[in-house]
Amino acid sequence: MNPPRQSVLILIVADLSPRSSRYSKGRKITTMPLPHDVGAAIAAYLQHGRPRSDRRRLFLLAVAPYSGFKGAAGIQTVARSAMRRAGIVGPGRRDSHIFRHSLATDLLRSGTTLTEIGQLLRHEQQDRTRI
């Protein structure tokens, strides 16, 4: 299972604060800044979209029994559905990994070095950060 998707699967509500989020990749846990727009989107989800549940996981299935996703395939399904609704079509990857790639591309275009991008994406090996 791909660690970035896995970290979304296991994110729990208690890991969030108004300014930061605990993020795990592999066996490393890091506190990362939580951008205002992301925090606002999560707050809206918690207030209006997340099913009522005593489950600790942030993201739950939208149908009973409202448990967390069982694997990366659930996140992939959500990502593909969102891209389809947004009209994103064409060749290339159309799964959740595209969000990491898009972030890296935007950062590179704005002048961020590959080393800095690799650190943000939590790559253990520098050669993993490539286009």
Cβ–Cβ under 8 Å, residues 84 and 77: no
CA-to-CA separations, 11 to 58, 59, 69, in angstroms, rounded = 6, 8, 11
Amino acid, single-letter form, for residue 11: L
Cβ–Cβ under 8 Å, residues 122 and 28: yes
CA dihedral 106, 99, 6, 130 (to 10 degrees): -50
Is 15 a residue whose pLDDT tops 50? yes
Phi first, then psi: give them for residue 43, nearest 5 degrees.
-60, -40
pLDDT given for residue 72 in this prediction: 76
pLDDT given for residue 1 in this prediction: 34
d(CA 124, CA 42): 28
pLDDT tens for 59-116 read 888 888 888 887 777 878 888 888 888 888 766 666 777 788 888 888 889 998 888 8
Is 131 a residue whose pLDDT tops 80? no
pLDDT given for residue 23 in this prediction: 57
- Percent pLDDT > 70 in the chain is 79
Is 25 a residue whose pLDDT tops 70? no
Amino acid, single-letter form, for residue 32: M
